[in-house]
Chain A
Amino acid sequence: MTTAVKRRTPTLTAGAVLVGLVVLVALVSFIWTPHDPTRVDAAVRLLGPTGDFLFGTDKFGRDLVSQIMVGARTTLYVGVVAVGVAALIGTPLGILAAMSPRWLGEFIMRVNDLVLAFPALLLAIMFGAVFGASTWTAMVAIGIATVPSFARIARSGTMQVMSTEYVLAARAAGRSRLVIARRHVLPNIAGLLIVQSSVSFAIAVLAEAALSFLGFGTRPPTPSWGRMLQESQELLAVQPRLAIVPGIAIAVAVLGFNLLGDGLRDRLDPRLAGRR
């Protein structure tokens, strides 16, 4: 990217708008929601969309809009913690694997492959069974399952950086491996990691929804999009609205983070710059 040309990146813009929407809704929910999202009121149960309840109410008479708004918080919370766990463990592991002697690097990557081969949902369900189902166990389990993708990205990026002449120059200047990792490797693979974060965020959001749907994620009464889906199950034929609303919310968040990731990749990766 020697020439600082501003390219048109519609994916990036669309992703940023969708993600921004989710973040905005979550932030607003801290100070205002139309109703208390957890208030049970039999008098208003299963209402269709009205002026007071924009998307109607569920079988307990809780306001759908308010639940979606507070649920956005849960979703982002899960994404941030899961991606944080994955990045904080995976990135150093990947850099270490690339910079250490061959046998150690190979060992780290084979263990990494083992974790990668393990189904993420199964891991989360095991965690839930052992430590008790909660948002926390779900987040940590999703995070651990995402470690390998960060380790791989970090390793391949590091290997590329380590083969450059500027690293050779740093070594000739007497810089230690640790300093080279911090000063040269990390800044140069940051772009890759940001892209990976965004894509992993989308996967984490989806995984949390799936876990909550299965009853291994967020516990009631904390609103969660996945659990809203689960609760809508028995009424799917009569009240499809109860499934469609959280379904759209999940789709918007996942699509947003995926588009953001793709857009950032196109923007940050000079090798892909010329393609479109």
Chain B
Amino acid sequence: MIEVRDLRRTYRGRLGRPAVDALRGVSFDVAAGQRFGIVGESGSGKSTLVRLLAALDTPTGGTISFRGTRIDGVPERRLKFLRDELQIVFQDPMGSLDPRMRVRDIICEPLKRRDDERLAELLDAVGLPLDAASRYPHQFSGGQRQRISIARALAPDPKVLIADEPVSALDVSVRAQILNLLADLVERYELTLVFVSHDLSVVRHVCDTVAVMRRGEIVELGDVEQVYQQPLHEYTRELIAAAPTLRAALARFQEG
């Protein structure tokens, strides 16, 4: 579905600051139907990768193909197929919804026309009431806003869904709901999922394959259970150890 080869992105330094190598030669494949996780701490190049995968930015080197067609450095007018087939759910459920637009218009944005029938379907699919359509984003809670964002992403009936830290900005109590919703929708609509997170335990919950990123490189790539149970790279071990788990918390509690 997606082929990434030796992808590089360098941000030019401005006003005397040094250039930043956000991606230093990343290669991987995402097969159709796969649930591909990308995990890494902030600054590891995850967000840059997301933008490149969605052709919202141009790489400084390497190639990206979507269903066999190059999408890197291609002018917008030749990306129409990609816009319908690949959609993104962003991290910040407030910042990714235009505060001056009604939910109806937000969700229908990828359709480029108003379609009340499709709107009703989408609202139902993400578990929002019909009357949500005429309200504004600020009238919803974080979790509900992320549902709106998901509905918008599903509107054009995409084949690939990129979720960029979709639950990091949410309260812990609603994270599981949104994750389960995503997992259900991926299954129901037979989507290919690219799931980006800094939290390996979240990725483990949703994905079958994971790529661990550090400083613009993939340090480990493989089956998510295998990576989680037997991490090969030192950095992956650190990531797993850093994540708070109930067991670790209890252990500390008992020691203390």
Contact = CB atoms under 8 A, between A and B. Distances in A.
Interface of A: 1-2, 164-166, 168-176, 183-184, 187-188
Contacts of A169: 88, 90, 96-97, 109, 149, 152
B109 A165 contact: no
Interface in B54-99: 54, 56, 76, 79-80, 83-84, 86-88, 90-92, 95-99
12 contacts: A1-B138, A2-B138, A165-B91, A166-B97, A166-B98, A168-B90, A169-B149, A169-B152, A173-B83, A173-B110, A174-B110, A187-B98
A174 B83 contact: yes
Given A173-B109, A175-B109, A176-B76, A168 B87 contact: no
Given A2-B138, A188-B98, A188-B100, A172 B88 contact: yes
Interface residues of B, number: 28
A165 B80 contact: no
Contact of B56 (A168, A176, A187): A168
Contacts of B109: 169-170, 173, 175
Q: Which of A2, A171, A173 has the most CB of B within 10 A?
A: A173
8 tightest A-B CB contacts, nearest first: A174-B83, A173-B110, A165-B96, A187-B100, A166-B98, A165-B95, A165-B90, A2-B138
B96 A168 contact: yes
A66 B43 CA distance: 70
Contacts of B86: 172
B226 to A, nearest CB: 32
B99 A188 contact: yes
A176 B77 CA distance: 9
Chain A interface helix/strand/loop/mixed? helix
Interface string B28-52: 0000000000000000000000010
Contacts of B110: 172-174
Given A169-B90, A174-B84, 20 more contacts: A165-B95, A166-B96, A166-B97, A166-B98, A169-B88, A169-B97, A169-B109, A170-B98, A173-B110, A173-B112, A174-B76, A174-B79, A174-B80, A175-B112, A176-B76, A183-B98, A184-B98, A184-B101, A187-B98, A188-B98
A1 B94 CA distance: 12
A165 B109 CA distance: 14
A173 B82 CA distance: 9
A100 to B, nearest CB: 14
Nearest to B139: A2
Interface in B130-168: 138, 149, 152, 156
Contacts of B99: 188
B26 to A, nearest CB: 20
A166 B109 CA distance: 11
A169 B94 CA distance: 12
B163 to A, nearest CB: 13
A172 B96 contact: no
Nearest to A165: B96
Contacts of B96: 164-166, 168-169
B92 A165 contact: yes
Nearest to B111: A173
Contacts of B152: 169, 173
Contacts of A170: 98, 109
Contacts of A171: 56
